[in-house]
Structure 1
Amino acid sequence: MKNQEKIAFSIRKEMVQSNLKGMRTVAWSLMYVSAIISLIHYGEVFFVKAERAMVPVYIAIHIAMFYIDIAVLLFVREKRIHITSVNIQKYEHLVVIYIYTIMLLITAISVMDVYFFHHAALYEVILIIICTVFALPLRKISWIILLSAPAIIASTYLSVGMSSENIKVILPMSLLIPIGIIIQYQTYKVRKQITTQHILLDEEMIKTKQLSELLAVKNKALAEQALKDPLTNLPNRRAFNQQLTKIGHQLHQPQTLTVMMIDIDYFKKFNDYYGHIQGDAVIVKVASLLAEIAEKYQAFVARWGGEEFIMISQHTEKFAEPICEEILKEVRDLKIPHRQSDIVQYVTVSIGMCHANLTMYEHLQTCCDIADQALYLAKQNGRNNYFRKMAIFDGKENASI
């Protein structure tokens, strides 16, 4: 269903639901009226002997109306109403049939009222109620007026002839029927406009909500991309700094921390010999391996830049050293050929490690600097190994190594 068709159906559906609610309201009212009038007629209290002949007909019509209204209340319940594009016409016809049935029964009563009492008050009241409650196109309501009004007017002439008595019937009807038609037209027009605006507003709110959700998703994706290294998909340096800030906020008491700086050995020679595409492939493979190890030991790893990576672990010093050993072994086991290496004919890494008990955020930055110094010493010691430094802080920013 296209958007315009969907909106048109929603408007039509709201109008039908409104008319069904109105039908239940009218049914409750008329059921009460029918019950009271039937009791009054049954007692024959207000009728002279000549008029009592029409009482059974009155009672029969009101009982019929009573059961019609009960049927409406039983079968047209809000919880049972499920309007779809398939059954909407059925509900529209139900409303029209109910109006026509009630109006025809009221017309029958009004014909008798004209004959015996020279008035059609019940017809006029019901007409105004229907025109006020139900929002229907004028063409749907006009046929029942064309059917019922002439019958009442004709019975007026047959009962009282051309006399002033028929003014009691013709004058109120001649005033109320046009007024009812105007009310009916305005009711339908205004309610449709309100419903249309309501549906369009809902549509705009839904679109706005969808756009907001889409924008939130896009913003989240962009925020994640801003913290990801595009080549390795590891957190980047900005994400690492955020992680440091997060850890710094938790430094309410001394915490153990290990920082590892990891560098691919002789990477420039690798790039010069194998080319940058193969160099990028090596960075991706090493990054993937480091990500697996970090996840295994609940550590945080990021790409520091170029061929360097950094890992933060809150394990003890004794537990951090085996992690370094594992990284060195797993990288060697990748067996990525490196003919320009001065160590072995495969890609290897060097690791600089700093272990410390921290109490201040500034200690974190110092730890990273010390880990970088340790990496330099690891390279001086022949690469393909790790070098450990222990940082002891004096309660301020100063550290002894």
Structure 2
Amino acid sequence: MQFPFVRNGVKSGEFRVIATLPMTTVMFSTSTKIEVRQGNEVSQMGIGVHHPIFHPTVQNPPEAATVGLETVSQLIDHISQKFLSYRNSKRPTHGKCSVVLYGPYQNKEIARGVAHTMNMRFEYTDASKLIKDYPDDSVAAVDELFTGRGPCVLFIDRFDNVAPEVGRGYSYITDVIAAKLKLTLDEPLENLVFIIAGARWRSFVEPGIHSRVSDVLFCGPQEEQQEWDSVGTCLRRLMTLPYKGEHSRWRTPSVVLYGWNSSQMWNVASSFAACRSLKLVRAEASHLLRLYNRVGHAAVADLFLRATCERPALLFIDSFDTVGDHAMINELCVHLDNMDRQVHVFVAVRWWQLMNPQLLEAGRLDKQVFCGTATTKVLWDYVGNQLLRHQQSRGP
């Protein structure tokens, strides 16, 4: 969409919105890029990073986050220079013309900027399309993805969805795809195809893929990289716990996200749901408490029923601190013990130590992930333990 920018009755520029704008939510989607063009100068105002919620009313829209112009231009320049050096060297590409771009921000626009800088065609595909019902079909899909393409910049989104660590409870199909991708990256490509793979966390991509690409870059400010990597490592450790049983591909333990930044915890939950192909169902604990006081246990039952209807789904309950020792805890424990295997629960709190012990029992919310850096975690846990000790000393 383009809108004229008029000053004193004279058109002096244009306002452009690139990609989709879901009007039912009054929100930008993750693929929305905002620019202001005046003459030959283009100023980027921001990039939406949250997924659109297709619901007529948004009571608590997530906070918008943007990637600064300096960070965007640095990434585009770095990748473009790397690709140009291989294009000018006239040597076989052996997987060296590929980059993994990960992080919570919109990496598709970075890839599009690289294609524009190199004056090459931009092509986009979703890696989940490689997942077929039979291994031979998945292998054929990988071959089709890389063969028969002319010179272009190929962006493969959700790359972490099909390249999991082998032998850790995921489906046989994704193991086959990961092996085929490694073989393909080892071979020289017929045409000049530069590959940019988009992922949420680098730890979600198999190490064998990392060793075959030219570079792994964080899409976002450098001061946020350590924090994002720490969260990804913790989530990866939880996902790779040994598990044998029904629906093993979707098996994920319920998790307590804790820390001081509520928007970061929402970022983690939405990104995790996206890369695991889970439908995200969000609820505010304070709103749930008000419903419980009005209609009783039906409020909790309806929430879990809504998540079950969307399965495989991730139920995210924000501001869970407000629950405290409310009578609703007993009802929550009942549903946590009996929920569908394809429904997973993430709750956001400041300190998990202050949660009711019933919720932290095995099989319920028994896993904790700190949304922050490893050094900050030590201090944050110390404060939480001191608050718990003070609370216990006061008695009931």
TM-score normalised over the length of structure 2 = 0.20
Structure with bigger helix share is 1
Using the size of structure 1 for normalisation, the TM-score is 0.20
Greater strand percent: which structure? 2
